[in-house]
């Protein structure tokens, strides 16, 4: 008798051991004993920073591979990678019936008539505001960016109860979400924002105090809400280190202005840097993975005179919100006995779930008309990569194509016809699916990417697999003998489309007519400096240039309105790290000195996947705003253990090459 756990066959005895280990870990988590200091004191950590196997906390043989050769390009601090031979350390969730619940489309966020007390240019600390600095935008132009703009939002983070499936195998879950005044939800309400129309959100922490957090022991009720990919001033960016507890708030000013407005493209900015699909999520230092897993995220869709949200104007993309649907993908794990949502704080590799949620519901269905829809696909993490295919279970050999129109926050110059597209944590793609081809049928959005651990997808390519084959036994298992792409119908069926057969009118642009969106801004400018960032393991955690995240240290200073190249180097062997940099988007100049070729690498990006043994060169222009921002891995488990660094933009930059 064997159990199938995350693709691995395990014996009944091994499975019992895994259940027991998971239970023991959860008890420690519930008791609040998870800090590395606590564990060290209890003798539960090895010198390499790994959990001790014999304590009954881990079903893996940790620490047995210390003498193995580290991967050829790894640093000598690498503890060897066999301890990452997951699966094997995580239990399975209870079975649930798929496709019994409708997809939830988040409502558009409601504006507030006024805020009390009225927002102020300087942080209103007397009233409980926690903001790092005065608003920058009104200081640049107070008539264009009034301290109290017309569009105001009053958001509260709250704890609430919800069913994530109507299957009674799982109970009501206690999670966290955003409340715009219409009740808490996760994902939070979707912002409908417009260029040229500045807005302000008051984010108030109304979560219970830490002593009353009703959960299975994870989540930290102190917050900092980051607007991912926005060209935003640092005091409103949602910096990881500017977190605040219950009863406090932060007013966050979103100017909705194009990059370059106060520098190389004054006064309105560069139209070719228009953003469309952004998202907001909690970014509390050390706790981002737990707090976003618990529900603190939502979409922010930004429109302008070309990308209007109406199919009868501008680019004539499908109309928002009827046929322009944000889809947030999350994978989660539930306790095999109680069915409660759990999060293994002892896993520093990356958390993979075996339940797939779209917009907060496990495997929903969506009734669609036989016409074009725009979908904004977002990988909320914590650690899983997806490759999206359209699958017809009655015709598995069919190649069902659709259109890629945007990567991360941007529309591409032209639509690209694809059979699949791959994204990692925090990345987005905008796609158009034309359901006319599927009228009267049921089709699935399927993730066929094979991933067995937080390490990243299996076998990125045969060359990488061959390199890895020489490193460790585990890499061999994970990367050489495993296909990267699973056969159609054997991956994760995420979302079921039920396509009606009644013909409908469709005014939206047909991507097959090759419409043009924006041009890509030139990268043909010499950089002021080329900085190098080495991503690696260090004592069981994750480091950048040999250091951990430190809120008290700016690692380097970027010169305002300058061009830089950043060279990202993966020294951690066969791990993939999705690297995110705040404030400005980048272009990928090269991967291992070769210009990128895959469609999702060609546009402007705010997250770049750093693949095994890779070096990737990025192009940046840092414009307009001053202040502090982070660079970090967006496998949020790596981020929290401490693959992040703070830098800042100042008038005179420094010349630190390896910060």
- Residues forming contacts to Cu ion in the complex (CB under 5 A) are 577, 633, 635, 638
Omega of the bond leading into 187 within 30 degrees of 0 (cis): yes
CB closer to Cu ion, 332 vs 638? 638
Neighbours of 209 (CB within 10 A): 11
Strand spans (E) along 359-476: 361-362, 365-368, 372-379, 386-391, 402-407, 410-418, 421-423, 428-434, 442-447
CB closer to Cu ion, 21 vs 642? 642
Rounded to the nearest 5 degrees, what angle is found at the Cα of 490, between the Cα atoms of 485 and 494? 90
CB closer to Cu ion, 159 vs 289? 289
CB closer to Cu ion, 283 vs 638? 638
Asked whether the beta carbons of 284 and 218 are under 8 A apart, the reply is: no
CB closer to Cu ion, 623 vs 638? 638
Q: H helices of 85-166, where?
A: 137-140
Closest approach, Cβ 507 to Cu ion, in A, equals 43
**How far apart (Å, rounded) are the C-alpha atoms in residues 165 and 128?**
38
CB closer to Cu ion, 372 vs 580? 580
Phi, then psi, of 177 in degrees rounded to 5: -155, -175
Identify which of 451, 355, 349, 325 has the alpha carbon closest to the alpha carbon of residue 98: 355
Closest approach, Cβ 317 to Cu ion, in A, equals 33
CB closer to Cu ion, 55 vs 532? 532
Q: Residue written as tokens 């998202």?
A: 279
**How far apart (Å, rounded) are the C-alpha atoms in residues 218 and 240?**
18
Closest approach, Cβ 607 to Cu ion, in A, equals 11
CB closer to Cu ion, 577 vs 628? 577
Phi, then psi, of 463 in degrees rounded to 5: -65, -45
Closest approach, Cβ 609 to Cu ion, in A, equals 10
CB closer to Cu ion, 217 vs 381? 381
Closest approach, Cβ 638 to Cu ion, in A, equals 3
Q: What is the widest separation between alpha-carbon atoms in the chain?
A: 72
CA distances from 549 to 99, 346, 609 (A): 41, 19, 20
Neighbours of 289 (CB within 10 A): 27
The set of residues, in sequence order, having a beta carbon less than 8 Å from that of 197 and lying 6+ positions away, is 149, 150, 151, 256
Element holding 13 (H helix, E strand): helix 12-30
CA distances from 264 to 259, 306, 566 (A): 9, 22, 21
CB closer to Cu ion, 158 vs 638? 638
CB closer to Cu ion, 391 vs 570? 570
Closest approach, Cβ 33 to Cu ion, in A, equals 26
Put residue 189 in one of left, alpha, beta given phi > 0 → left and psi -120 to 50 → alpha: beta
Asked whether the beta carbons of 353 and 385 are under 8 A apart, the reply is: no
**How far apart (Å, rounded) are the C-alpha atoms in residues 145 and 41?**
53
Asked whether the beta carbons of 369 and 435 are under 8 A apart, the reply is: yes
Identify which of 384, 359, 374, 386 has the alpha carbon closest to the alpha carbon of residue 297: 359
**How far apart (Å, rounded) are the C-alpha atoms in residues 21 and 11?**
15
**How far apart (Å, rounded) are the C-alpha atoms in residues 437 and 90?**
40
Closest approach, Cβ 643 to Cu ion, in A, equals 5
DSSP 512: G
User: What residues are paired with 535 via a beta bridge?
Assistant: 544, 570
Closest approach, Cβ 578 to Cu ion, in A, equals 7
**How far apart (Å, rounded) are the C-alpha atoms in residues 534 and 548?**
12
CB closer to Cu ion, 179 vs 349? 349
**How far apart (Å, rounded) are the C-alpha atoms in residues 299 and 297?**
7
Closest approach, Cβ 83 to Cu ion, in A, equals 16
Q: Residue written as tokens 């994750």?
A: 542
CB closer to Cu ion, 488 vs 549? 549
Closest approach, Cβ 350 to Cu ion, in A, equals 7
Closest approach, Cβ 286 to Cu ion, in A, equals 15
CB closer to Cu ion, 93 vs 608? 608
Closest approach, Cβ 650 to Cu ion, in A, equals 28
**How far apart (Å, rounded) are the C-alpha atoms in residues 282 and 298?**
10
């Amino acid at each position: 008798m064997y159990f199938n756990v995350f693709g691995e066959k395990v014996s009944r005895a091994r499975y019992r051991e895994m259940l027991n280990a998971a239970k023991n870990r959860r008890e420690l988590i519930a008791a609040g004993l998870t800090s590395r200091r606590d564990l060290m004191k209890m003798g539960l950590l090895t010198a390499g920073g790994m959990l001790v196997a014999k304590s009954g906390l881990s079903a893996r043989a940790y620490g047995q591979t210390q003498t193995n050769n580290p991967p050829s390009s790894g640093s000598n601090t690498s503890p060897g990678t066999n301890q990452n031979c997951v699966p094997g350390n995580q239990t399975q969730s209870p079975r649930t019936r798929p496709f019994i619940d409708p997809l939830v489309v988040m409502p558009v966020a409601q504006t507030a008539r006024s805020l009390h007390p009225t927002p102020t240019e300087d942080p209103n600390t007397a009233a409980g505001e926690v903001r790092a600095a005065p608003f920058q935008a009104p200081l640049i132009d107070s008539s264009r960016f009034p301290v109290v703009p017309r569009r105001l939002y009053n958001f509260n983070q709250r704890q609430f109860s919800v069913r994530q499936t109507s299957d009674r195998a799982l109970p009501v879950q206690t999670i966290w979400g955003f409340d715009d005044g219409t009740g808490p939800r996760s994902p939070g309400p979707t912002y409908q924002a417009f260029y040229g129309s500045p807005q302000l959100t008051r984010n108030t922490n109304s979560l219970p105090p830490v002593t009353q957090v009703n959960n299975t022991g994870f989540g930290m009720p102190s917050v900092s809400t980051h607007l991912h990919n926005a060209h935003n001033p640092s005091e409103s960016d949602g910096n990881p280190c500017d977190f605040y507890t219950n009863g406090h708030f932060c007013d966050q000013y979103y100017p909705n202005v194009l990059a370059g407005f106060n520098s190389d493209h004054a006064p309105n900015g560069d139209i070719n840097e228009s953003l469309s699909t952004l998202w907001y999520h909690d970014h509390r230092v050390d706790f981002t993975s737990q707090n976003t897993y618990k529900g603190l995220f939502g979409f922010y869709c930004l429109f302008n005179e070309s990308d209007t949200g109406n199919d009868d104007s501008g680019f004539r993309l499908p109309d928002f919100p009827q046929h322009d649907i944000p889809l947030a993908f999350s994978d989660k794990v539930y306790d095999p006995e109680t069915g409660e949502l759990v999060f293994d704080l002892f896993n520093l590799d990356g958390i993979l779930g075996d339940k797939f949620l779209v917009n907060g519901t496990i495997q929903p269905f969506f009734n669609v008309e036989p016409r074009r829809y725009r979908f904004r696909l977002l990988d909320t993490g914590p650690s899983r990569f997806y490759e999206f295919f359209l699958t017809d279970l009655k015709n598995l050999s069919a190649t069902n194509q659709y259109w890629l129109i945007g990567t991360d926050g941007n529309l591409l110059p032209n639509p690209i016809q694809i059979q699949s597209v791959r994204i990692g944590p925090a990345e987005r793609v905008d796609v158009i699916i034309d359901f006319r081809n599927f009228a009267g049928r049921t089709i699935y959005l399927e993730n066929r990417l094979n991933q067995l651990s937080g390490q990243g997808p299996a076998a990125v390519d045969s060359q990488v697999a061959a390199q890895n084959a020489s490193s460790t036994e585990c890499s061999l298992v994970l990367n050489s003998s495993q296909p990267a792409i699973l056969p159609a119908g054997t991956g994760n069926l995420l979302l079921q489309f039920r396509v009606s057969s009644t013909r409908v009118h469709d005014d939206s642009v047909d991507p097959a007519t090759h419409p043009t969106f924006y041009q890509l801004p030139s990268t043909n400018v010499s950089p002021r400096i080329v900085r190098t960032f080495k991503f690696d393991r260090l004592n069981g955690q994750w480091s950048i240039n040999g250091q951990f995240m430190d809120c008290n240290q700016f690692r380097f200073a970027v010169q305002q309105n300058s061009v830089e190249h950043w060279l990202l180097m993966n020294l951690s062997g066969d791990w993939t790290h999705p690297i995110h940099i705040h404030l400005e988007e980048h272009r990928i100049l090269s991967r291992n000195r070769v210009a990128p070729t895959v469609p999702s690498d060609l546009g402007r990006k705010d997250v770049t996947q750093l693949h095994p043994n890779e070096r990737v060169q990025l192009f940046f222009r840092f414009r307009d705003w001053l202040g502090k921002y982070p660079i970090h891995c967006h496998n949020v488990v790596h981020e929290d253990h401490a693959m992040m660094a703070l830098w800042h933009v100042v008038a005179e930059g420094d010349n630190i090459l390896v910060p």
